[in-house]
């Protein structure tokens, strides 16, 4: 049955839960006040692969935090989490990696096809439940770097389809020189004023204004934030988050949970923690 009371949650936490672990290697060469993905960092969970064509991610995808899948009406909730970071004050977020694609090049200055369409993927890997609100308002969209692009600063124009079926370009974003592996650029905030109130359901193309000088490898990723572990971290001091602080987010079958960090300086650092996903 669905967990409806605190007593049921406590029972599930003690007697019917999946213990999870995060232990990711140091991520350097980042940019202060930007997002960094640990998808490709070694450690636990294992190193995720660089994606090719657009594809969904699920609980069995290497790089995601594995947990016991449930049979309806049983559900799962993130109920307890610890976190230790080596760089003070970095905020750790745990996201469900819904879908991704890679293989975009820093030396191509024409439109590069993305075709990452969540609307067409709703029947795959429980995406229809995992996206949250049906209007895609809970989905976060990113440019994500897998290997560094070149030293020439460029702008990127991203063409999208919105939840109402209309299409358009997001506000062009400036990409400073040498975007490193692990770097992420949030796309949701680039929806122009003329399209205010709309939400992205599909990224169609990415166009760079010029070549960066090095091909590298980057792509587009769709995620849904499940919780944020944000305190004024002291380097290497473990923090404990109870269920009320986490918000008891439901963890749907098929979820591909992974960490990312909002950095305070150029080193995202190591991150370590353990948690429990309660089932009931």
Q: pLDDT (tens digit, 9 = 90+) per residue, 80-94?
A: 999 999 988 789 999
**Mean pLDDT score, 211-232:** 95
Could you read off the pLDDT of 55-64 as tens digits, one per residue? 999 999 999 9
Residue that is written with structure tokens 């299409």 in the block: 167
pLDDT at 257: 98
Contact criterion met (CB below 8 Å) for 143 and 156? yes
Q: What b/e string do you get for 170-191 counting C-beta neighbours within 10 Å, with b at 16 or more?
A: beebebeebbbbbbbbebeebb
As a whole number of angstroms, the distance between CA 5 and CA 171 comes to 45
Q: Grade residue 1 by pLDDT with cuts at 50, 70 and 90.
A: low
Contact criterion met (CB below 8 Å) for 244 and 131? no
Could you read off the pLDDT of 116-162 as tens digits, one per residue? 999 999 999 999 999 999 999 999 999 999 999 999 999 999 999 99
Q: Grade residue 194 by pLDDT with cuts at 50, 70 and 90.
A: very high
Instruction: Check residue 60 and report its DSSP letter.
Output: T
Q: Grade residue 214 by pLDDT with cuts at 50, 70 and 90.
A: very high
């Amino acid at each position: 049955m669905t967990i409806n009371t605190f007593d049921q949650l406590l029972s599930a936490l003690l007697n019917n839960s999946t213990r999870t672990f995060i232990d990711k290697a140091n991520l350097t060469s980042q940019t202060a006040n930007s997002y960094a993905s640990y998808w490709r960092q070694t450690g636990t969970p294992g190193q995720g692969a660089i994606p090719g064509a657009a594809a969904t991610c699920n609980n069995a995808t290497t790089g995601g935090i594995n947990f016991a899948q449930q049979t309806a009406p049983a559900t799962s909730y993130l109920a307890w989490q610890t976190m230790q970071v080596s760089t003070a004050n970095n905020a750790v977020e745990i996201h469900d990696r819904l879908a991704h694609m890679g293989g975009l090049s820093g030396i191509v200055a024409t439109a590069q096809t993305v075709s990452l369409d969540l609307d067409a993927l709703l029947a795959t890997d429980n995406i229809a439940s995992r996206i949250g609100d049906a209007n895609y308002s809970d989905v976060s969209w990113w440019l994500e770097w897998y290997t560094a692009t070149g030293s020439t600063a460029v702008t990127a124009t991203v063409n999208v389809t919105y939840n109402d079926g209309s299409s358009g370009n997001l506000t062009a974003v400036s990409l400073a020189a040498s975007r490193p592996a692990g770097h992420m650029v949030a796309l949701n905030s680039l929806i122009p004023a003329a399209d205010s109130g709309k939400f992205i359901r599909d990224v169609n193309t990415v166009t760079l204004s010029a070549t960066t000088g090095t091909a590298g490898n980057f792509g587009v990723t769709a995620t849904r934030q499940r919780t944020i572990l944000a305190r004024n971290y002291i380097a290497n001091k473990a923090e404990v988050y109870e269920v009320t602080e986490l918000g008891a987010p439901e963890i749907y079958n098929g979820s591909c949970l992974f960490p990312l960090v909002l950095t305070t300086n150029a080193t995202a650092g190591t991150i370590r923690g353990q948690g429990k996903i309660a089932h009931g």
